Amino acid sequence: MGELRMSMLVDTFNRAHRDLRVSITDRCNLRCTYCMPPDFSDWLPGDHLLSVDELLLVIEVATEQGIENIRLTGGEPLVRPDVVEIVRRVKALPLAPKVSLTTNALRLTELAQPLADAGLERVNVSLDTLDRERFKTLTFRDRFNDVIAGIEAAQRAGLTPLKVNAVLMRGINDDEAIPLLRHSVANGWNLRFIEQMPLDAQGSWERAEMISAAEILELLSTEFDLVAVPTRGSAPAEEYTVDGGPMTVGIIASVSKPFCAACDRLRLTADGQIRNCLFARDETDVRATLRDPSITEAERRDRIARLFTASVMAKLPGHGINDPSFIQPDRPMSAIGG
Ligand code: SAM
Ligand code: SF4
């Protein structure tokens, strides 16, 4: 691993920020039930989405402040026609960060190789079922085969280790925990289960319905020999070797066992708002600065850097999902960038 660059984005709890999740669009070609309703129409106005030049400027300033990892997300990042150009230009920055992408894989068959050629390092693919009919029910689109083909294309293009994220829902796909892991191990996918979070557009999350990390671990342990891999640093997943390894499975207990104390992430929404937490109630507007015609380019950069610092300094110690006073953010996951 390379030496860590000095991060200037250190918050009041001494957390150094090195990871920026950049949502490049809120649009999507699926309608996963835990994310947005089938008739979702509350899209961001097109002219609010940041252009490639605007994205690049924000990312460049962030790298100068110590950001080392950029994860492109959405919405579905691959529906943005200029996604390959975005990756190529981020990788060409003077302080080029590592670039990865979270995707539903629908467009990976055609884009995996161009993205790899542009310098993309890895992809995380979201897949909650191995059953084509169930996939249709869960996403409102009959595109299961495209996901599998997309994953294979990513592996051929060397976008590895390929991580697959799955959300288990009670009575809906929780019977697939074991088959999903068996299939992942056999196909070289690094599977990670993520606890369902209160981030759906329709606000229908219920704690009692959530399948907890402890429950997932118990379920998987009936079939596999799982041994915890020590030290996870700022990585959110608790990793376990499966049947002696080398394959591992991750369990991300965002709700039941938050990892806020080690959080090193910031987020940029597709419409140019910095968020210091997925669950933040406040955002820091960078779009207005990007589009302010009255300032010089040097002033613009300086102001963007200050906005990042201000956002980091206002970061709370934790997301508070477990507090009685918790209020779900106004924006759904698709607009924040998961
Ligand atoms: N469209 C891409 C995808 O699905 O991978 C990227 C954006 S999506 C919002 C990012 C991740 O958030 C996916 O792995 C998805 O499963 C997860 N996600 C969305 N809503 C969620 C929720 N309410 N709780 C937990 N994870 C969620
Ligand atoms: Fe789209 Fe990803 Fe949300 Fe599913 S989870 S609806 S693929 S943004």
Residue 4 has pLDDT above 70, yes or no: no
What is the mean predicted confidence (pLDDT) over 147-176? 96
User: Does residue 332's CB lie within 6 angstroms of at least one atom of ligand 2?
Assistant: no
Q: Can you read off the two tokens belonging to residue 239?
A: 């990793």
Residue 14 has pLDDT above 70, yes or no: yes
Residue 255 has pLDDT above 70, yes or no: yes
The sign of the CA dihedral 276, 280, 284, 287 is positive
pLDDT at 96: 97
User: Which ligand 2 atom is the nearest neighbour of the CA of 76?
Assistant: 8
What is the mean predicted confidence (pLDDT) over 154-172? 95
For ligand 2, atom 3, the nearest C-alpha belongs to 35
pLDDT at 332: 67
| Per-residue confidence band for 323, with pLDDT thresholds at 50, 70 and 90 | low
pLDDT at 22: 97
What is the mean predicted confidence (pLDDT) over 56-72? 97
User: Does residue 30's CB lie within 6 angstroms of at least one atom of ligand 2?
Assistant: yes
pLDDT digits (tens, 9 = 90+) for 195-227: 988 766 666 777 777 899 999 999 999 999 999
Residue 2 has pLDDT above 50, yes or no: no
What is the mean predicted confidence (pLDDT) over 305-330? 82
Asked if the bond preceding 236 is cis, omega within 30° of 0, the reply is no
* 8 A C-beta contact, residue 77 and residue 83: yes
**Count of CB atoms situated within 10 Å of the CB of 185:** 18
Tell me, in angstroms, the distance from the centre of ligand 2 to residue 202's CA.
14
Lowest mean pLDDT among 88-97, 127-136, 197-206, 284-293: 197-206
What is the mean predicted confidence (pLDDT) over 307-311? 97
Side by side, the strands of the sheet bearing 248-252 are: 226-228, 238-242, 248-252, 190-194, 163-166, 122-126, 98-103, 69-74, 19-25, 265-268, 273-275, 284-285
Residue 232 has pLDDT above 80, yes or no: no
Q: Determine the residue of 83, 102, 103, 127 to mutate for testing ligand 1's pocket, defined as the one with the most ligand atoms within 8 A of the Cβ atom.
A: 102
Instruction: Give, for 70, the enclosing helix (H) or strand (E).
Output: strand 69-74
DSSP conformational letter for 141: S
Residue 1 has pLDDT above 60, yes or no: no
Tell me, in angstroms, the distance from the centre of ligand 2 to residue 79's CA.
11
pLDDT digits (tens, 9 = 90+) for 121-157: 999 999 999 999 999 999 999 999 999 999 999 999 9
Q: What is d(CA 286, CA 258) in angstroms, rounded to the nearest whole number? A: 28
Q: For strand 265-268 and strand 226-228, is the pairing parallel, antiparallel, or unpaired?
A: unpaired
Q: Can you read off the two tokens belonging to residue 294?
A: 């009255």
User: Which ligand 2 atom is the nearest neighbour of the CA of 74?
Assistant: 8
| Per-residue confidence band for 36, with pLDDT thresholds at 50, 70 and 90 | confident
Which percentage of the chain shows pLDDT scores above 70?
90
| Per-residue confidence band for 34, with pLDDT thresholds at 50, 70 and 90 | confident
Tell me, in angstroms, the distance from the centre of ligand 1 to residue 73's CA.
9
pLDDT at 233: 65
